Every structure is written in C-alpha cells, then in structure tokens.
Amino acid sequence: MSARTAYALDQVSWRRSTPRCVSATPGSSQLAERLGIGWDACDPALGLTANEPTLKRIYTYYGEMLLRETEMEWARLSNLACKVVLAGLQDLRAVRKFLALGGTPESLAPRVDLSPDVLRSLAQIADAELRYFEAKLVSMAKDLFADLMWQHDAYANGGIEAMRRLNAAGEVPAGLLRVWADIASRAPELVELANERILHREQLMVLQPSYDEMLAQSPIPGGAPFAVVAGPTANITTFEARWRWITTDALPRFRYLLANDPATILGCHRAPGRRGCGGVPPHPVLL
C-alpha cells in the first residue's frame, strides 16, 4: 500500500469522527507556559481586543518555527493564513470605529478599497454578531494551538524519538506518529504527503466544526440554516444565495415572530451573543 493510499484511508476514518479540541493538552499547556501565554486567560468570549496579544505571540511563534524547520509546511501555511485573519479582524474593528466617530463611507472608501455600500453594511453589523464571530475565530486559533502546534514544537525540540515517547504516553492523536516519522525521513514525497495530512486534519477536524456553526445557524430564532435554504454547496458571500436565504426564510420568519411572538424577539435582543435562540417552531410557510 502506498503512503498516499494509507493517508487517504485515514482521512476517511476522520470524516466518520470529528472531535473538537475543547481543552488544553499537556503538551499545549507546557508550550503556552513557555511562551508566556496563560491558557485559561485566553478566553475566546472576550473577543479580539482582549486576546490580541496572545494571538500575536502565537503567530510570531509560528513564524519562528517555519524559519527553524524547513520540513514543516503546515506551520508556514498557518502563519500566512492566521496573519490574514487577524488583519481582517483588526481592519473591521478600525472601520467600525471610524464610522462610529462620524466618518463617512464615501470618505473612507478610497483608503480601504471597499465600496461605500460595503462599508455601510459593515457598520450595520450588530455588536453581538461581531462578538460572536470574533470569539469563534479566537476559539479556532486556540483549538489549532492545542491540537497541532505543540506537536510541531515537540518534534522541533526532540525529533522523532520525542514523538514516539509522547505517542507511547497516549498524547499523540491516533495516526499522527506515522506523519512525524514521514517528516523525519526527509524524503521529499513523504514530507509533502505528511504535511498534506496535517493540513487535512487542521481543516476537517479542528476548523470545520466551527465553520459549520458559523454558516449553519440563522440569526432568527427557529430560522432555517443557510445551507438548507440556499443549498449545501452555496457560498454565503454570494449576494444571490444570501438574498435567497433572507427573503425566503429569515425575513418572513422575523416578521412572523414580530406579529405572533414578539416576546421571543425581545428576549433575544436582551441576550447579546445568543444566535438562533431556539425553541420556536418553523415558520408555517416553510412547513
């Protein structure tokens, strides 16, 4: 059996079970302590501003890692992607602050290469919604650190022997010891496949559950998920698909609740950050 075939079989088994990284592992706790990061103090619910120093420290370490270990392609990719996400959140915060202080979309548009209409849309995002997405993205960064980054650190400092000891202690997730052995081989094809395997784990097991939560939920209590209305392959960033979701489910549902159960809408307004308050039957039009 080729290495690529073996990895493909492992990926099938991962699709059947996609656990979340919801708590610190011994390895990630030790690395966090060494980097001066308080694991418990990194609370995703506090959003970007409170966690920004921690995120910057983590991403700086990713950059240091990629300079030390040329075989670790995942660290290089993660470093690039994380910087883009962090910059996007910082830009969004700055734009909203500028507009809140009286700046106009027309005056800001030429500086940020966005249309005034897009800037108005950004300004209208509810604070609770923004906090939700900030918290989710911080949580995803923390999940990656807990699942994968400490393993890269352990390998960089102790090589394959360290990974074997950790595996014997039950700390290395199933199937990943072979990945580190392939990286240790320094054989170009095996190193490339091993990094693909790590990237696949990152995208499927660590990040996908959070993406599913962000895309699946409707902001309207009892509303249908985006994918149910627009289709499982629809892109929420596409206006046509998003407008179909709004006009066929979200808006009718919202108006139905206002007319028949205004207390539910009021309750959600009083609970910032809650998404899809639940407990409400579907809109009768959609039954």
Q: Do 143 and 209 have their domain in common?
A: yes
The pLDDT of residue 159 is 93
Residues 158 and 249 in one domain: no
> Based on the domain organization, do 150 and 272 belong to the same domain?
no
**Looking at the structure, do residues 202 and 231 belong to the same domain, yes or no?**
no
171, 195, 216 — which closes off a domain?
A: 216
For 223-261, what is each residue's pLDDT tens digit?
888 888 888 788 766 778 877 888 888 778 877 877 888
Q: Is residue 160 part of a domain?
A: yes
For the stretch 91-139, pLDDT in tens is: 878 888 888 888 888 888 888 777 888 888 777 776 777 777 788 888 8
Whether the Cβ atoms of residue 140 and residue 210 lie closer than 8 Å to each other: yes
52 and 173 belong to one structural domain: yes
Distance CA 11, CA 21 (A): 18
Range of the domain at 257: 226-286
Q: Same structural domain for residues 212 and 234? A: no
Domain presence at residue 221: no
Confidence of residue 21 (pLDDT cuts 50, 70, 90): very low
Is residue 201 one of the residues assigned to a domain?
Answer: yes
Considering 84-88, 155-159, 213-217, the range whose residues carry the highest mean pLDDT is 155-159
Q: Give how many domains the chain has, as a whole number.
A: 2
Question: Sorting pLDDT into bands at 50, 70 and 90, what band is 169?
Answer: very high
Same domain, 247 and 134: no
pTM: 0.65
